[in-house]
Amino acid sequence: MTIRIYPSRLPGEPLETHEHKPMSLHHWFSANVTGYQHDVCQPVAVEVNGKPIPVSAWPLCFISPDSDVRVYPVPYGTGAEFALWAAVALAVASAAYSIYMMSTLDTPGNATGSTGDQLNLSPAKANNVKLGDPIREVFGKYRVYPDYIVQPTSRFDSNNPEIYRTEMMLCVGVGHYSIPQSTMRIGSTPVVSFGDDVSYTLYSPGAIVSSDPRSQNWWASTEVGGTSSGSGLDTNSTALGSIYVNADAILFAGNTITLIGVSNENGSEDADDPSVPVSWIEGTVITVIAPDSYAVGKVGGYSAIYGDFTELGPVVGNPVTLTFNDSRYNLFIASYTPAVDPVPGVGGNAASITASAAPATYDFSGSSYTFNITWKGKTYPVSLIANYINMVGLLGAITNALTGSGCVAVEREGRVVIQESASPFSGGSITHSLLPASVFGESPVNVSGVASSGGSAGVDTHITLAYSSATGAAFSGIPAGTARLSLMYGVGEFIITAVDDTTITVSRLKITDSGTTTVVDSNWAGFNSRTVLDASVSGENDAENWLGPFLACPDGEKTTVIENNFLFPNGHIQYKKNGDSQSHTVNMIVQYRNIASGGAWSQVRYGFTNQTVNGHGYTRRISGLAPAQYEVRVRRTTKIGGSRTVNNVYWQALRSRLSKSPSRYANVTTLALTIRTGNRLASQSDRRVNMVATRMYEGYASRSMSGAVMHVLTSLGMTMEQIDVDAIHALENNYWTPRGETFDFATSDDSTSALDILQKITNAGMSYFLLSEGLASVGREGVKNWTGIISPQETTEPLRVAFSAPSRDDFDGVDVTYVNGTSWTEETVQCRTPDNPTPTKIENFTLDGVISEDRAYRIGMRRLMKYRQQRQTFSTSTEMDALCYNYGDRLVLTDDTPGSKTISCLITHASTDGEQITLSVNEPLDWSFTHPRCLIRLQNGLATALLIPSRIDDYTLSLPASAEISPDEWIMNDPSIEPPRLIFCSSERVGYDAIIADISPGSDGTCEVTAKEYRSTFYDYDDAYYPGDVA
């Protein structure tokens, strides 16, 4: 027959059919369904010969070619999953595709089978940097994503392989920082939320870090750990395939294994057919499973195994492999009790229970019965569950259940009697639960024993076993009675010392204290002589497939320590036929050698034992090496697991510790951090370590503008004599601090110059950076008085005035993008005027160093007001006069254009009587101007405020005396010094109000001057608060 796959249980033809060989259902699905896993919820049901087979029984259900196997979709969940599966099944043309859909179909909202926790290997991260990249500079307060100083290392916990930790050494930035723990995060999750899963240490600049192992410089091989999944390299490709001897029976005797009834491939005896694999030669290691019959009892929670242990040579603490009921257990000998012959006592009689009638039946297969016998304070359950045929079988079952108690079941006058087995008798009564009337009658008779005097009870040779170590958890997995099992030292490995066609001579291998190598056990007594039908003698083929070799450290480097990570992504477990789990061991070999000298490989063996469905791994270190550049290769020596074994292992990482590692990092704050990664981290893609760091300036407040400016200037090597400290302090005290203006920014861009940073700092403070009289200085932009005057007397060419008319190309709105100081995300402030809430052309402007929406709004409104109102641009040239001024100074520009109601002239004479100042000029003054006003350009280039003159005559005027005007200090009638200038004008217009945009000295001794229109309305929003986005 065949396997038929149906789209539903409705009448109809199958989508497709498959022929199959004898195998289990689980094996067929594993071979034909990509990604099939037995221990998940399956969206299909299987019937074999009309009987439904539960998923748990698939590994145990064997189908033959004549079995009628039918596969149907299962309608589970909300109904949508079944509809989707059925729709897919009806649409596809092949069963293979429909089965593939079955195996990959997602079933959200429904419980699934236990697949264990997948170990997520994505660790916390930091920024990668390149050699030569600048170290981050943080100004003020800013969210920082630190950079790796050395490569991060991830290791599995030595005590709990399901714990995966990553260690990082990170660079926060140049200088000292204040970093509150509450601001430290992994992605968006606060570090404090991880509790003990995160530990860290902050190191101030220049602190010693060499004692912190996280500062060590480890180099990770990208060839091993560079896979997209992070799992590493699959070692399955290196696993050995097992080969077995081909015989009907095997005779074990002494140190020989003899094959009996060797058969060829056709099943017929053939003397010419090799009985021992041809690849097995002297030195080949083989694995032996040689069952024997043992009596098993219960002693103190252990399964006590009674029998002849000469072959095993038990020693407490020795590892053994127990094979029972097709399941293997890696255990340790917990106790060994040698045989002691009994010494009969004098007198006394045995305690007993005697049935009141002969057994009514020996067949308990239809209705089983269990009762308890208690003797010497211990209870022994007796289960009658089979057809025992006769009295001998029944007595044997009861006696087997009482193994180790000192009691036996015997026949007396056709009735069952449970009694002490031999003298000396202990005295006391055998108690029991309700006994089956079909065996003991209605009223069994209890006889109390009388203790013998003298003598001693005999003790049979027996051992007990434990998990993990001799003192580990008790092993009690074998039911009491007679059992057929194999007990082999270690993993049952023997080395061939001689071989012919049918006989193998072997020596047992002994595991050394290190557990990594094996030697011949000279104390082995040999096999107990017996012929066995259910034995197994297997070995591995002689092909050695390796992963690698790969370099453990880069060219030009040497190492003395190598580490490897091995990962079991799907868990590591083995299942018995009944579905119970048990531990399993995978053995690995790591070889390494000096790549320069080559030669023989050095070797380390690892054995990984576990019993878990959860992903986990192991980190193993090879230390004490001679300094060299090593290459490493890896292979597994344990075969790939079958249908009941999960043992896929990956070589997940290879790294080496380099000798060159700084002991301190001058002028840099560093962070050493350890975090338990894997599933403890949130699922967001950004898992970078980050924190809010506040830069600590030396001698200045932590977020101050002046501190940022002074830090940049002094880091450039400038001295206090080269910096306009007074101007910087004045702005800090008068504007920046009172207005709460700070600079909060971080930069690590190598294209950003120091000048760029200085301009960002001052721009964030509504100011500007400039060079003034050879000093690095700052100036405040905003409402200010004029500083000086450029009149026609100073210019070498006429003043040019350019005007730009409003157009549709002008920006009538500004969107300012800044970083919000609470969320640390980019946000946008909409700058609009009340008369135009929905502009047609909007400038997108990025503002650095400002983390307040109000300040971003104020700076954005300055830009918008200039776009709307700044229409005039002025240009002219002077001799050296323009050098009296600086960028950003407000000036009055005048010309002699007729009708401008402005007269620029030279002051030819000045006198004062203390009350009035009398000035004479070289040009007649027009007193017909509306409300005449004047201002004076002093000889140092500065300008007075607007003054009210009094007429004396056309060339002479008087002004009230003031401290601002000191004619006595003027140098008059000196041809080397120009006299002061008088600007005579109407009160309605005082020349052109301008802000200097550029002063460019020329090679001919002149200076080109460019200025832009100044209006106080540009700064109307300097104290405004953001009204919110336009609806």
Q: What is the DSSP string of 296-352?
A: EEEETTEEEEES--TTT---TT-EEEEEETTEEEEEEEEEEE--B--B--BS-B--E
* Residue 85's pLDDT band (cuts 50, 70, 90): very low
How far apart CA 492 and CA 506 sit, in angstroms, is: 12
Give the residue from 858, 931, 942, 941 showing the smallest Cα distance to 901. 931
Whether pLDDT at 516 is above 60: no
- The model carries a pTM of 0.63
The arithmetic mean of pLDDT across residues 120-136, rounded, is 74
Whether pLDDT at 1 is above 80: no
Domain parsing of the chain, residue ranges: 3-104, 137-217+662-692, 235-240+543-658, 242-291+491-540, 352-447, 697-780, 805-870, 873-1015
Structure tokens at 640: 């790939």
**Residue 697 in contact with residue 707, Cβ under 8 Å?**
yes
* Residue 514's pLDDT band (cuts 50, 70, 90): low
The arithmetic mean of pLDDT across residues 241-270, rounded, is 73
How far apart CA 771 and CA 849 sit, in angstroms, is: 22
* Of the listed ranges 336-340, 376-380, 432-436, 891-895, the one predicted with least confidence: 376-380
Per-residue pLDDT of 343-365, as tens digits, reads 888 888 999 999 999 999 998 87
CATH code that applies to domain 3-104 = 3.10.20.30
Reported as type and span, the H/E element at residue 770 is strand 767-772
Give me the sign of the Cα torsion angle 957, 963, 965, 966: positive
Whether pLDDT at 714 is above 60: yes
pLDDT at 171: 94
* Residue 274's pLDDT band (cuts 50, 70, 90): very low
Contacts for 753 with CB less than 8 Å, ≥ 6 apart: none
* Of the listed ranges 10-19, 61-70, 596-605, the one predicted with least confidence: 10-19
> Does residue 944 or residue 341 have the better pLDDT?
944
* Residue 945's pLDDT band (cuts 50, 70, 90): very high
Structure tokens at 31: 């071979």
Residue 982 forms beta bridges with which residues?
A: 905, 936
Whether pLDDT at 115 is above 70: no
**Residue 165 in contact with residue 617, Cβ under 8 Å?**
no
**Residue 763 in contact with residue 779, Cβ under 8 Å?**
no
C-alpha 89, offset from chain centre: 39
> Does residue 685 or residue 563 have the better pLDDT?
563
Tokens 């894997």, located at residue: 678
Whether pLDDT at 243 is above 60: yes
Per-residue pLDDT of 580-613, as tens digits, reads 888 899 999 999 999 999 889 999 999 999 999 9
Task: Report helix, strand and coil shares of the chain as percent, to nearest 5.
Answer: 15, 40, 45
The arithmetic mean of pLDDT across residues 502-517, rounded, is 79
> Does residue 387 or residue 570 have the better pLDDT?
570
Quick one: residue 598, left, alpha or beta (phi over 0 = left, psi -120 to 50 = alpha)?
left
Find out whether the peptide bond into 798 is cis, omega within 30 degrees of 0: no
Opening angle at CA 707, ends 703 and 710, nearest 5 = 155
pLDDT at 101: 35
Give the residue from 909, 917, 906, 913 showing the smallest Cα distance to 984. 906
* Residue 107's pLDDT band (cuts 50, 70, 90): very low
- CB atoms inside a 10 Å sphere around CB 253: 13
Strands 581-582 and 547-551: unpaired
Whether pLDDT at 106 is above 70: no
pLDDT at 844: 96
Whether pLDDT at 89 is above 50: no
What number of residues does the chain have?
Answer: 1031
Structure tokens at 439: 């065996």
Per-residue pLDDT of 391-410, as tens digits, reads 988 997 888 678 667 789 99
> Does residue 574 or residue 90 have the better pLDDT?
574
> Does residue 148 or residue 107 have the better pLDDT?
148
How far apart CA 388 and CA 395 sit, in angstroms, is: 9
pLDDT at 460: 80
pLDDT at 479: 86
Can you name the CATH fold of 235-240+543-658?
Jelly Rolls (2.60.120)
The arithmetic mean of pLDDT across residues 533-541, rounded, is 81
Among 50-59, 541-550, 818-827, top mean pLDDT goes to: 818-827
pLDDT at 227: 56
pLDDT at 682: 52
Give the residue from 396, 381, 388, 363 showing the smallest Cα distance to 295. 396
> Does residue 26 or residue 829 have the better pLDDT?
829
Residue type for position 168: M
How far apart CA 181 and CA 192 sit, in angstroms, is: 7
Report domain 805-870's class: alpha beta
pLDDT at 104: 36
Q: What is the mean pLDDT of the chain?
A: 86
pLDDT at 228: 52
pLDDT at 833: 94
Tokens 């189908």, located at residue: 63
- CB atoms inside a 10 Å sphere around CB 457: 19
Per-residue pLDDT of 982-1026, as tens digits, reads 999 998 888 899 999 999 999 888 999 999 999 999 999 999 999
Give the residue from 34, 579, 78, 591 showing the smallest Cα distance to 326. 579
* Residue 480's pLDDT band (cuts 50, 70, 90): confident
Per-residue pLDDT of 620-644, as tens digits, reads 999 999 999 999 999 998 888 777 8
3-state secondary structure of 58: helix
* Residue 244's pLDDT band (cuts 50, 70, 90): confident
Please give the C-alpha separations between residue 648 and each of 387, 586, 611, in angstroms, as whole numbers. Answer: 44, 9, 13
3-state secondary structure 637-700: CCCCCCCCEECCCEEEEEEEEECCCCCECCCEEEEEEEEECHHHCCCCCCCEEEEEEEEECCCC
* Of the listed ranges 127-131, 132-136, 138-142, the one predicted with least confidence: 127-131
> Does residue 127 or residue 766 have the better pLDDT?
766
The arithmetic mean of pLDDT across residues 241-262, rounded, is 83
Residue type for position 120: N
Whether pLDDT at 80 is above 50: no
pLDDT at 591: 95
The arithmetic mean of pLDDT across residues 240-259, rounded, is 84
How far apart CA 542 and CA 286 sit, in angstroms, is: 12
**Residue 651 in contact with residue 236, Cβ under 8 Å?**
no
pLDDT at 341: 79
**Residue 916 in contact with residue 991, Cβ under 8 Å?**
no
Residue type for position 686: D
* Of the listed ranges 19-23, 441-445, 518-522, the one predicted with least confidence: 19-23
How far apart CA 227 and CA 572 sit, in angstroms, is: 22
pLDDT at 293: 75
The arithmetic mean of pLDDT across residues 681-698, rounded, is 80
How far apart CA 819 and CA 971 sit, in angstroms, is: 55
**Residue 654 in contact with residue 232, Cβ under 8 Å?**
no
Structure tokens at 323: 């094979």
pLDDT at 11: 66
